[in-house]
Amino acid sequence: MSKTVITFYTDGGARGNPGPAAAGVYSPELGNFKKYLGHATNNHAEYSAVVLAMEQAVHYQQKHPAVQEINFFLDSELVVKQLKREYRVKDKNLQTLFLKVWNLMAKFKQVTFTHIPREQNKKADKLVNEALDEQPTSPPTPLL
């Protein structure tokens, strides 16, 4: 039985930090995913992108049990170091997302997290911006 590996490039961003935020995920094996998150911080958006990817991997694994390894590539050094347990997660909101990722990781034999330069993460970054740009803007408030 051959080992099947899924690769994810994930990114998250907030315009204003905090501000309107979105998550983007690119996988050569599974395709593109994006999600508008509402008002959040950059770090929250980065974690949300990892969660989105993990959920897609778990869904795929249900139909393809040979999938046992996931390789993540992120341009957020903080999130990579926290997920590799090199840094503590102090923020309560991020702790919740960290635990969600950690619990999803248990479904796989190996999950790796690698920090990459932003220039190598352009596809996921583009998905973040698409998700943000697709949100309708509020109509201007009429002057009374």
Write the pLDDT tens digit of every residue in 88-106: 999 999 999 999 999 999 9
- Indicate the fold that domain 4-118 takes in CATH: Nucleotidyltransferase; domain 5 (3.30.420)
Write the pLDDT tens digit of every residue in 6-29: 999 999 999 999 999 999 999 999
Q: What does the alpha-carbon distance between residue 115 and residue 72 come to, in Å, rounded to a whole number?
A: 9
Averaged pLDDT score across all residues of the chain? 93
Locate the domains of the chain by residue range.
4-118
Query: Which of 46, 53, 51, 52 is closest to 18 using CA atoms?
Result: 46
Q: What does the alpha-carbon distance between residue 51 and residue 87 come to, in Å, rounded to a whole number?
A: 19
Question: Does the pLDDT at position 119 exceed 90?
Answer: yes
Give me the pLDDT at residue 3, please: 61
Percent helix, strand and coil across the chain, each rounded to 5?
40, 30, 30
